[in-house]
């Protein structure tokens, strides 16, 4: 086992085994230790939709880290409320680790974008149209108040099909902004990850990787993948560059993806994931299983009294049938979202844990 102290006090990363480029490790944070690879449930507005903190913590789901969203929490309830609460951990009654994104992705994808310049981004809220400005310093200040364990650098994420000159401008900005984020004040015990952009051009990715990894961040993320490009392109970039990120720091692939995507990315050397897919799909009637994905609204499930997945240890599968879940879904009962979300999150947690077990069993001790 190799242990690496990360630049921020209170953080370290252990590598336990490797299998090809895949890694099994542990990320230690002030709010607990996280076995990697790890899938982090997304808690956009200070809640993983439909789940209580107790449900997230309870085995077999046993989530060790969740995401919070800077853009959403800044707009609502607003920083003064979270500051008065004593930070996001206390506000949401979540005593384990939290990673916050920088708000950049939402500003570029959700908000009505005003102007973007080298200093930051002006945008209008998707809630009420009010005008706001996000800069690296503002994003870091919001994340400082949220008090997440891991903050992310404010970056510019161009669409997958953006032209080369758009990518170049975004790269230069993301590097300059990363430096400003690094130099901004942070909460005590708050780590900071840098984000590598560059689209699907691996030469450009490598060039940006060199700039970002030179800044001594606690971990590194690949951003701007699975943002509209063909999935084969995503896999090609991952296969080529993920393992070139520094081995002694955690590697995070932002916003990806399906269980198969996670398998591929872990094989390429990624340690951390987040995605709304398990939670959003659950609410929309799509349930992951060890076999075919289930569309619970299908007539075939009307009188199917078996569980969603025979092999799943979650309380939903242990208690309720597909027929009952389909009924709740059709009747738009609130309970459906809770049961389905618990199942899908448990499926994702188990999926990456099974891969971790395989790396430990079949790989080389680090």
Residue 26 found at the interface with Zn ion (CB under 5 A) = no
**Toward Zn ion, which CB reaches closer, 12 or 258?**
258
All residues at 6 or more sequence positions from 304 whose CB lies less than 8 Å from its CB, including other chains: 321, 322, 323, 326
Q: Which of 149, 155, 218, 274 is catalytic?
A: 274
C-alpha 148/C-alpha 59 separation (Å) is 23
Q: For helices 259-268 and 334-362, what crossing angle results, to 10°? A: 30
C-alpha 38/C-alpha 262 separation (Å) is 10
Q: How far is the CB of 277 from Zn ion (least distance, A)?
A: 16
Q: How far is the CB of 118 from Zn ion (least distance, A)?
A: 48
**Contact with Zn ion (CB under 5 A): which of 205, 343, 350, 356?**
343
* 198 Rama sector, left if φ>0, alpha if ψ -120 to 50, beta otherwise: left
Residue 314 found at the interface with Zn ion (CB under 5 A) = yes
C-alpha 65/C-alpha 149 separation (Å) is 9
C-alpha 160/C-alpha 157 separation (Å) is 9
Residue 312 found at the interface with Zn ion (CB under 5 A) = yes
**Toward Zn ion, which CB reaches closer, 188 or 311?**
311
- The DSSP output letter for 240 is H
Q: How far is the CB of 336 from Zn ion (least distance, A)?
A: 14
Among the listed ranges 75-83, 117-125, 284-292, 314-322, the one in contact with Zn ion (CB under 5 A) is 314-322
Burial of 203 (0-12, 13-18, 19+ CB in 10 A): exposed
Among the listed ranges 135-143, 173-181, 268-276, 338-346, the one in contact with Zn ion (CB under 5 A) is 338-346
Number of residues that bind Zn ion (CB under 5 A): 5
Active-site annotation holds for 101? yes
Residue 350 found at the interface with Zn ion (CB under 5 A) = no
Residue 349 found at the interface with Zn ion (CB under 5 A) = no
C-alpha 364/C-alpha 96 separation (Å) is 30
Active-site annotation holds for 274? yes
Q: Which of 101, 218, 271, 309 is catalytic?
A: 101
Q: Which residues are catalytic?
A: 101, 274
Given the rule CB under 5 A, which residues bind Zn ion?
312, 314, 316-317, 343
């Amino acid at each position: 086992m190799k242990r690496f102290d990360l630049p921020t006090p209170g953080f370290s990363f252990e590598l336990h085994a490797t299998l090809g480029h895949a890694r099994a490790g542990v990320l230690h944070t002030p709010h607990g230790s996280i076995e990697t690879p790890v899938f982090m449930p997304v808690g956009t507005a200070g809640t993983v939709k439909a789940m209580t903190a107790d449900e997230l913590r309870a085995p077999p789901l046993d989530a060790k880290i969740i995401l919070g969203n800077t853009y959403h929490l800044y707009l609502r309830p607003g920083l003064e409320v979270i500051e008065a609460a004593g930070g996001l951990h206390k506000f949401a009654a979540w005593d384990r680790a939290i990673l916050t994104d920088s708000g950049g992705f939402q500003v570029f994808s959700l908000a009505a974008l005003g102007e973007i310049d080298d200093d930051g981004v002006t945008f209008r809220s998707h809630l009420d149209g009010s005008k706001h400005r996000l800069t690296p310093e503002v994003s870091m200040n919001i994340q400082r108040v949220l008090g997440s364990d891991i903050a992310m650098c404010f970056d510019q994420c161009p669409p997958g099909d953006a032209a080369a000159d758009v990518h170049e401008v975004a790269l230069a900005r993301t590097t300059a902004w990363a430096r400003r984020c690094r130099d901004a004040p942070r909460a005590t015990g708050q780590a900071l990850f840098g984000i590598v952009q560059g689209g699907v051009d691996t030469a450009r990715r490598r060039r940006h990787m060199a700039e970002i990894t030179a800044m001594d961040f606690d971990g590194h993320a690949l951003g701007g993948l699975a943002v509209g490009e063909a999935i084969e392109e995503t896999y090609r970039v991952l296969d080529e560059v993920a393992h070139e990120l520094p081995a002694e720091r955690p590697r995070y692939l932002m916003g990806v993806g399906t269980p198969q995507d996670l398998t591929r990315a872990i094989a390429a050397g990624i340690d951390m994931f987040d995605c709304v897919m398990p939670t959003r799909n659950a609410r929309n009637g799509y349930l992951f299983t060890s076999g075919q994905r289930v569309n619970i609204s299908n007539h075939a499930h009307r009188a199917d009294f078996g569980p969603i997945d025979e092999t799943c240890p979650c309380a939903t599968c242990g208690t309720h049938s597909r027929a009952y879940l389909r009924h709740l879904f059709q009747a738009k009962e609130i309970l459906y979202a809770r049961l389905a979300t618990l199942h899908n999150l448990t499926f994702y947690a188990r999926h990456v844990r099974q891969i971790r077990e395989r790396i430990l069993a079949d790989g080389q001790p680090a």
